[in-house]
A = this chain, B = another copy of it.
Amino acid sequence: MEDEPAIADLVRLYLTRDGFGVHLERDGEAGLNAARRLRPVACVLDIALPGLPGTEICRRLREAGDWTPVIFLTARDDEVDRIVGLELGADDYVTKPFSPRELVARVRAVLRRSAGGPEGADRQRVVGPVTLDPARRTVTAAGSPVQLTSTEFDLLAHLMARPGRVFTREELLAGVWGYAAHAGTRTVDVHVAQVRAKLGPASVIRTHRGVGYAVDA
């Protein structure tokens, strides 16, 4: 649940990309009803929502014996103490501005915890001669290891998460850099070039003129 459309869309995009089904509500009351009706595996709630504040939604769910994991989005650090656990029974929180990646990671962590299971294996991704391991943050091209910087790695990981899918520069900026990024879109080009150079002849990133970038499916 989230009232700012831009953020909401981004969050949805990310969670969807990671295999979660996402239902979105912009209003507190509607959100509470949806949570009750749909019985989701987890809720992501903005603290400030029109209609009914997120905290209140959480409280009511708990009151009704609903222990669906809840993750809060909050703009302020000082709200945090109140949120987690004690009064409300929330499971985690993320402060704005946040990277969508971080949110996804926390959703996963919360689900893992509530499932009590061992760590879910971040799966290795392979495209042509290039392999990428998210947990180890390693990349190999044609068998040899490749040293990428943090941003370069995230960029490649993002592209390789959905081989064949074309990402616009804006999407990449939002996804890799975070929605609060102030970088210009040409920054993406520069980093793509850098990754290509490091991958050498094995480069799998293809330009879609006038649109963006993708890795070969």
Q: Identify the stretch in A46-54, A85-93, A193-201 within 8 Å (CB) of chain B at 4 or more residues.
A: A85-93
Name the B residues within 8 Å of A67 (CB-CB). Answer: 13-14, 17
Q: A101 near B137 (CB under 8 angstroms)?
A: no
- Cα distance A12–B97 in the bound complex, in angstroms: 29
- Cα distance A42–B75 in the bound complex, in angstroms: 28
Question: Which residue of the partner chain, among B17, B76, B137, contacts A211 with CB atoms under 8 Å?
Answer: B137
Name the B residues within 8 Å of A182 (CB-CB). Answer: 95
Known: A67-B17, A165-B136. A91 touches B85 (CB 8 A): no
Known: A165-B136, A166-B135, A217-B136. A97 touches B86 (CB 8 A): yes
Name the B residues within 8 Å of A85 (CB-CB). Answer: 10, 96-100, 102
Q: Identify the stretch in A20-28, A31-39, A109-117 within 8 Å (CB) of chain B at 4 or more residues.
A: A109-117
Name the B residues within 8 Å of A114 (CB-CB). Answer: 101
The residue on B at minimum CB distance from A114 is: B101
Would you give 10 A-B contacts (Cβ < 8 Å), ordered by A? A7-B86, A14-B67, A86-B96, A89-B100, A91-B99, A108-B116, A135-B164, A135-B165, A137-B211, A137-B214
Name the B residues within 8 Å of A89 (CB-CB). Answer: 10, 14, 100
A100 to chain B, nearest CB (A): 6
- Cα distance A18–B113 in the bound complex, in angstroms: 12
Known: A7-B86, A85-B10, A138-B164. A91 touches B101 (CB 8 A): yes
The residue on B at minimum CB distance from A14 is: B67
Q: A214 near B98 (CB under 8 angstroms)?
A: no
* Bitwise interface map of A from 69 to 81 toward B, beta carbon under 8 Å scored 1, else 0: 1000000100001
- Cα distance A76–B86 in the bound complex, in angstroms: 12
Q: B100 near A166 (CB under 8 angstroms)?
A: no
Name the B residues within 8 Å of A96 (CB-CB). Answer: 85-86
Asked whether A144 is an interface residue with its Cβ less than 8 Å from the other chain, the reply is no
Q: A110 near B101 (CB under 8 angstroms)?
A: yes
- Cα distance A102–B110 in the bound complex, in angstroms: 9
The residue on B at minimum CB distance from A214 is: B136
